[in-house]
């Protein structure tokens, strides 16, 4: 999905909601545990209930890799389901946070973007830029795919390194300045946490038109209204992620209905803010 298609999708759905598919087996409704693949069945029902309200889905790889081969199978079935049942209707993000020396990153990129190799075919992947340009470039070699660079995260430990200052310029701003030349607005986004929403004004001075993936709204305490106030562009330029608040809104047989209600609440607010 290219930039213009993503923008059109946001306009059509009046939404910039990204739903994190981070299924926790301890929170999955007990009746699903009887299924052959509880994680995939959970994801499938969440997607069926919310696909008209969201523009993107973001599986966090940790919730699949922790289950070994079974988890990888659940992840593969989930992305194949999204691509086959809703082609061109949803933006898919591999929340894998990869990044290593060039030849290793090339293999990571194959895993995310080459279905003939891994069975996966995502639109985008999250990438850690700490090892520099040569660790990121292999992901950008795939036409029509996106990388989403970690810039300013929403967790408490973000202050440990991301705010280190050199001549008054914090590290996360240096990451933005340096990395924006590696790609462009058509193939590169950035992660900026909603809990740091007040810093979006300065971030927009550095990357005024890039899309931002914004986690931290909901369970982590970020404000959707503040994210929009400081971060929106004329083309929206935002994908706001919510995971637990939506997918684990209930652990009963009504879990998909409750997920839809929560996603609907967010979409309604997004529609108001877009207006």
**Residues that are catalytic:** 97
Cβ neighbors of 122 (< 8 A, separation 6 or more) are 79, 92, 93, 94, 112, 113, 145
H helix runs in the chain, sequence order: 3-13, 38-50, 62-65, 68-85, 102-113, 115-118, 133-140, 171-179, 200-206, 224-231, 244-247, 255-274
Helix axes 38-50, 255-274, angle to 10 degrees: 40
Cβ neighbors of 35 (< 8 A, separation 6 or more) are 41
CA dihedral 177, 161, 244, 229 (to 10 degrees): -40
Angle at 144 between CA 190 and CA 224, to 5 degrees: 30
- Identify the H or E element spanning 188: strand 188-192
d(CA 107, CA 117): 10
Beta carbons of 247 and 19 less than 8 angstroms apart: yes
d(CA 197, CA 194): 5
Distance of CA 152 to the CA centre of its chain: 14
């Amino acid at each position: 999905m290219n930039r213009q298609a993503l923008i059109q999708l946001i306009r059509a759905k009046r939404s910039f909601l990204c739903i994190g598919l981070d299924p926790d087996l301890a929170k999955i409704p007990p009746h699903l545990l009887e299924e052959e693949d509880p994680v995939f069945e959970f994801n499938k029902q969440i997607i069926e209930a919310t696909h008209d309200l969201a523009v993107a889905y973001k599986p966090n790889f940790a919730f699949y890799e922790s289950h070994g081969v079974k988890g990888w199978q659940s992840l593969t079935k989930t992305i194949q389901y999204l691509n086959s049942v809703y082609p061109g209707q949803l933006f898919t993000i591999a929340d894998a946070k990869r990044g290593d020396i060039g030849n290793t990153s090339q293999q990571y990129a194959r895993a995310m973007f080459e279905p003939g190799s891994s069975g996966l075919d995502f639109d985008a992947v999250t990438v850690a830029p700490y090892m520099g340009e040569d660790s990121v470039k292999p992901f950008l070699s795939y036409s029509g795919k996106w990388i989403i660079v970690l810039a300013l995260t929403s967790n408490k430990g973000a202050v440990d390194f991301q705010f280190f200052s050199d001549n008054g310029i914090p590290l996360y701003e240096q990451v933005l300045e340096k990395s924006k030349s590696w790609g462009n607005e058509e193939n590169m986004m950035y992660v900026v946490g909603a809990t740091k929403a007040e810093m979006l004004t300065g971030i927009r001075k550095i990357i005024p038109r890039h899309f931002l993936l914004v986690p931290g709204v909901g369970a982590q305490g970020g404000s959707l209204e503040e994210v929009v106030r400081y971060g929106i562009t004329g083309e929206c330029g935002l994908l706001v992620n919510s995971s637990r608040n939506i997918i684990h809104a209930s652990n009963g047989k009504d879990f998909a209905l409750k997920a839809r209600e929560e996603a609907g609440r967010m979409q309604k607010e997004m529609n108001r803010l877009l207006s």
